[in-house]
Amino acid sequence: MNQLMSVIETRVRDRLGILEDTLHAPPQASEERPAPPTPPRAAGPDHRAPTAPLLAQQAPRHIEHRALAASATRADVEARCEEARVYNLHAVSVHPGDVSLAATLLADTTAQVCALIDPLGAATSATRAFAAREAARLGADALDVTLLGGALRDLDYRAVCDDLRDVIAAAALVPTTVTLGSTDGDAALDARAITTACALARAAGATSVNLRAPHAPDALDAVSLMRAVVGDGVGVKVTTEPDSVEALKALYRAGASCVCAAQGPSLITHWAEQEAAERTSQGSPEPTPHNPTRASGA
């Protein structure tokens, strides 16, 4: 995999003009930044894609819930956190203003609080670094920041990499996921842009890379490419809404280590029901039933 990364980075530099020192130079000196008072409260998931066959009882640790609707209220955040507790989910993604509330609600669970920083990837580097530092101070266990999409399309790779390094440095001990962009609309990333963005995110020190995909089937090829570029040492997350258990499983088979989906709890319930039906049809004994209230998304 290291050899693959070397080939990819060489091709990116040769064909798109990435400079050697952009990918490998140490971060530029900047003002001293205070680190969060404590390390992240909970350990993240294995960055590798789950190995088949993945069982319903294992899936929750690879699912991130979210309360990111523009109209999300305090009650919505409380409901998503309660669902994360009941289903033993990996994390709940929230806006920075809800980090403190979510951290309090999830304090006695293993679920992480993931703060979404600048989802448009259009703020100044200083603003993004401040938001990352503040989210860490308020109790975020992980961050998700969108890379500077305009700079990526301008082929200004130094700006993209330096900005990500500043944000990651500001987050200190808090793991940072870099969202590359989306598979939808006029700003959709093609394979070349995804390869470049993954290489830059990895060089900057990202813990994971993420892609937003309105339609889960459209993300499969992109997820496979992301996994090939970053290898097993970096997580691959996809933010989408699978419409079935099979669609969710397909994302894991493609290489995703985490799926951020508002309907995750509902999918887990359906997955468990399918496994129970299969055991019944094969004459296997039923396990202790576990069927919490069906979840709704925000």
Strands of 55-160, DSSP E: 63-67, 91-94, 112-117, 142-146
The proportion of the chain whose per-residue pLDDT surpasses 90, expressed as a percent, equals 65
Q: What pLDDT does 21 receive?
A: 47
Degrees to nearest 5, angle at CA 262 with 264 and 40: 85
Region at 258 (left for phi over 0; alpha for psi -120 to 50; beta for the rest) = beta
Q: To the nearest whole number, what is the mean pLDDT of the chain? A: 84
Q: What pLDDT does 35 receive?
A: 43
pTM reported for the whole predicted model: 0.80
CATH 3.30.200.20: does it fit domain 59-281?
A: no
In the structure, what pLDDT confidence band is assigned to residue 53 with cuts at 50, 70 and 90?
A: confident
Is the peptide bond between 34 and the residue preceding it cis, with omega within 30 degrees of 0? no
Beta bridge partners of 235: 208
Q: What is the pLDDT of residues 162-214, one digit of tens each?
A: 999 999 999 988 999 999 999 887 778 999 999 999 999 999 999 999 999 98
Q: What pLDDT does 267 receive?
A: 93
Which residue's structure tokens are 């576990």?
A: 290
